[in-house]
Structure 1
């Protein structure tokens, strides 16, 4: 009988064994194809509270029944960040487990509140594919993804995301297309001069954001922009624990051996964890009534174990009309940055923000 645990003999067997691969190469994806993702989660309160607690999302409407009912929820709902992360996580095995840079996400919308006990599924449609001049070992794929209620088929969240995906066979260096995302990165992007004067709102309510924008007016050298004091250091719970709990199988979040020779040199944070931490910092300084939509989300640099994530916010618009009587719509631009002041995430967010109550 062979001794399969003899180190030398086993190493030799490993060299001869076929590897059963996970994930898909760029060539696998065809425009128009729809993929029904097999994984799915039942969203429960413990998982939701674990996500919120670890990312500092402490809005009481997602924890307490009385506050939830004040916001027109029958009970504390599933947090939008957790819903998004679970839908995204369920798609990783089919779409991006092979690795490659997450180039961005846009047109992210939350269609209806989600309550604990909801079972979710996800489906994605291949919107476009492109080759890359700058990285011939990769292609670029854009998917439209929807997370839906498994019982009713109602769409709960939807978004478009773009990834670089490894090719099984590299293309010729001059035979592809360069995407706008790559051009922006390679050209170093903006040379704009930022405003000299930054004004912070006086409070967390809609009227405070509107008043701050009025103070700035049309002055090109001023903006409503401010930083948030809280920071959160990336630990094992955030980097490995949370993504694994959302069925995110991407090795870059939990396999240090595989990542040792990568550009980051170590496992990296799930982008939606970094995003959720940064948005939690922002939400702690505003009276958010309801999340609405996100656009132009980008992840700019690696976040690894030990990095600390902070948040910065710019207020773009404040519109009193679209919301219920007690709230107005505010559009923000958020930037997450680390302890070395490197931007690691940015995106535009639209939310309903509570108006100041008449007795205050």
Structure 2
């Protein structure tokens, strides 16, 4: 009897199937320290207990993307071990903060399948939930991946393509209980720019760049227990290069966005996302953002701002995204659309 696990292939997924992922993970201050070492993360709410307490929280929660990576990493052996590409995200919401000492596990429900015309692969849509030790959902999101078929001759399933929202409605954003920015300290946060200072359509160059080192992205992917072969095994690609985990690029771009968006403190929704082009060690990542929308919230002094965060390996100050053919330009690595919370 074979005891190793080759991972799931396209034929192994069916709509309605729920997969409980191994292995639960207790996150602690060590993960926070490693996260801040890997990425130049400086948002005050995730750096200082005292700053977070002044904003109505019990202390400094774990970074939103740290929670995302932890939940995402659990899903890889079951969802994307044999994936060709991670295609996109939608309908993501953070439901409650993750605190040091919380134990997170993940489960995914298949909500769509569609074989590709080449008969060699297909697209699988899943809704993933991250759940803490008391059974509360801390975040959920939809993602879709292109997965290899085990047997190209296997019959195609009836296609089911889910109807996904373009963006999370501001009325459906979940804010932490007791969050308040009425006594927000702009000096300690690092910038004076508040919700009212940003205009829809405004674009912000985040100026700085980070060159990705092989050791850093390997450490990051191991930290999130992401087992996708293309991130570790140089024989998995014809060019012999290890692909950078897309979440690593997300966190780098988010950290770079501090310069211009230091007060976009909490990510509360993931509207859409695309890893536009592959990223490799040696690439220098830069970032820019566009303000897509703004909305008030019921929390004291708190506004929601919808941002497009674009990571590139091009020059600073270039806001190009797509070519005349409508396709992403080759220097674009990430196109991420999310809601964040900012002091009014």
For 2:214, the equivalent position in structure 1 comes to 236
Which stretches in structure 2 are left out of the alignment for 5+ residues? 163-190, 316-329
Aligned pairs for 1:6-17 within 5 A: none
Are residue 80 (structure 1) and residue 64 (structure 2) matched? yes
* Contact 2:287/2:311 (<8 A) preserved: yes
For 2:14, the equivalent position in structure 1 comes to 30
* Contact 1:230/1:281 (<8 A) preserved: yes
Give the secondary-structure state (helix, strand or coil) at the position aligned to 2:257: helix
> TM-score of the superposition, structure 2-length normalised?
0.81
Q: Which structure carries more relative contact order (alpha carbon 8 Å, separation 6+)?
A: 2
Give the secondary-structure state (helix, strand or coil) at the position aligned to 2:76: helix
Query: What's the CA shift for 1:284?
Result: 3.6
For 2:270, the equivalent position in structure 1 comes to 294
**Match of residue 225, structure 2, among 247, 255, 260:** 247
For 2:324, the equivalent position in structure 1 comes to none
For 1:137, the equivalent position in structure 2 comes to 120
Query: What's the CA shift for 1:339?
Result: 3.4
Query: What's the CA shift for 1:296?
Result: 1.5
Counterpart-to-counterpart distance in 2, 1:173 and 1:336: 39
For 2:244, the equivalent position in structure 1 comes to 269
Counterpart-to-counterpart distance in 1, 2:265 and 2:211: 27
Query: What's the CA shift for 1:236?
Result: 2.5
**Match of residue 145, structure 2, among 163, 171, 177:** 163
Counterpart-to-counterpart distance in 1, 2:335 and 2:192: 23
Counterpart-to-counterpart distance in 2, 1:177 and 1:239: 36
* Contact 1:292/1:351 (<8 A) preserved: yes
For 1:10, the equivalent position in structure 2 comes to none
Counterpart-to-counterpart distance in 1, 2:11 and 2:134: 34
Q: CA offsets, 1:56-93, max 9 Å, x none?
A: 11112212221121222212211110100010001101
Are residue 225 (structure 1) and residue 208 (structure 2) matched? no
> TM-score of the superposition, structure 1-length normalised?
0.77
Aligned pairs for 1:1-360 within 5 A: 20-133=4-117, 135-149=118-132, 151-170=133-152, 204-209=193-198, 212-213=199-200, 223-259=201-237, 261=238, 265-286=240-261, 287-319=263-295, 321-339=296-314, 342-355=331-344
Query: What's the CA shift for 1:308?
Result: 1.2
Query: What's the CA shift for 1:53?
Result: 2.8
Which stretches in structure 1 are left out of the alignment for 5+ residues? 1-17, 181-201, 214-222, 356-360
Q: CA offsets, 1:77-132, max 9 Å, x none?
A: 11110100010001101111113110101111100011100001100001111100
Give the secondary-structure state (helix, strand or coil) at the position aligned to 1:101: strand
User: Structure 1's 237 and 44: CA in aligned 2 closer, same or farther, altered over 3 A?
Assistant: farther
User: Structure 1's 170 and 278: CA in aligned 2 closer, same or farther, altered over 3 A?
Assistant: same
Give the secondary-structure state (helix, strand or coil) at the position aligned to 1:77: coil
Query: What's the CA shift for 1:318?
Result: 2.1
Counterpart-to-counterpart distance in 2, 1:141 and 1:174: 13
